[in-house]
Structure 1
Amino acid sequence: MDRDDRVEPLSEADCLQLLRTVPIGRVVYTEHALPAVLPVAFELTPDDRLVLGLRAGSSLSRALDGTVAAFQADRLDPITRSGWSVLVHGRAELVRDEADRQRLLRSGPRPWCGGGEERTFARITPELVSGRRLVAAGQALHRTR
């Protein structure tokens, strides 16, 4: 970024609103004691929890269950050098309630990879939410509200 480009912090409310505008993000988790990152389809529930669409029995679904994970999503424009990025940290758990699972099977996010197989879902309950808006020199800041 140029010296005149700005990185401006976003409020938690703005971060959650921006997450509702994109269907794909990246989940950060631990695999074999190392950080791992994978793209995932997701949605934000009315109570502001992230629901990730996963392949049932995948190493990702096993690695996420009962752990602290991070989730990042963004929308960046390389031409205007602007956009936003949101990072969420929280506890991840597989959806085990059968009524919730059936509802999510009908209308929830589909796995980004290998969607033809049996699906499962993980929820991340946000504990820390942060974000940044990237504003190129000479551009006005656009509020999300």
Structure 2
Amino acid sequence: MSASDAADVPVDHSGLRVMSTEECMERLSRAGLGRLGFVLAGEVTVLPVHHLVHGMELYFRTSGGSKIEAAADHSAVGFEIDDYDRATVTGWSVSVSGTASLVDDEQLAEELAGLDDAPWPGGDPSDSVWVRIRPDQISGRELLPH
């Protein structure tokens, strides 16, 4: 990156490059595993979930109770993916905050199942439900090489 290119890159208060919404969504669609954060019974819970992006929304399939409880209540959730390379001291993070809800549209559920090219191992997909995360905010930051 030339000095003039570097001047055009938006950075936050700590010097991290600010990623565009489009870049955040692209990275979300490439990453198959993220972390879902929510409050359950007064405690913060963070769980790994295999997800996919469809339009501007995130989806994951689950048959576990805690994630379904949070989604069924139209709970506020956080979702995060990241990558870091210790050797080059570079990395990035994408965070999403929004509302989770159960997918009750059978046609959409079938469409999502067709898009799910690498489902989470274990469990019977027919015993699971899809959860939608409707983002209110999407942000991403990148630590560039020095």
Instruction: State TM-score, norm by structure 1.
Output: 0.79
1:115 to 120, 123, 129: 123
What runs of 5+ residues in structure 2 fail to find an aligned partner? Answer: 1-13
**Structure 2 SS opposite 1:20:** helix
2:37 corresponds to which letter in structure 1? V
1:99 corresponds to which letter in structure 2? Q
Q: Deviations over 1:64-112 (max 9, x none)?
A: 2211111001122122111210000111111111222233334437664
What runs of 5+ residues in structure 1 fail to find an aligned partner? Answer: 138-145
Instruction: Give 2:46's aligned residue.
Output: 37
Identity of aligned residues (%): 31
Runs of 4+ that moved beyond 3 A: 109-117
Inter-partner Cα distance in structure 1 for 2:117 and 2:27: 17
Query: Which stretch shifts more, 23-32 or 103-112?
Result: 103-112
**Structure 1 SS opposite 2:83:** strand
Inter-partner Cα distance in structure 1 for 2:43 and 2:27: 29
1:104 aligns with 2:129: no
Instruction: Give 2:62's aligned residue.
Output: 54
More helix by share: 2
State the aligned residue count: 131
1:60 corresponds to which letter in structure 2? K
2:17 corresponds to which letter in structure 1? E
Q: RCO greater where, 1 or 2, for CA within 8 Å and sep 6 or more?
A: 1
**Is residue 70–residue 100 contact of structure 2 (8 Å, CA) maintained in 1?**
no
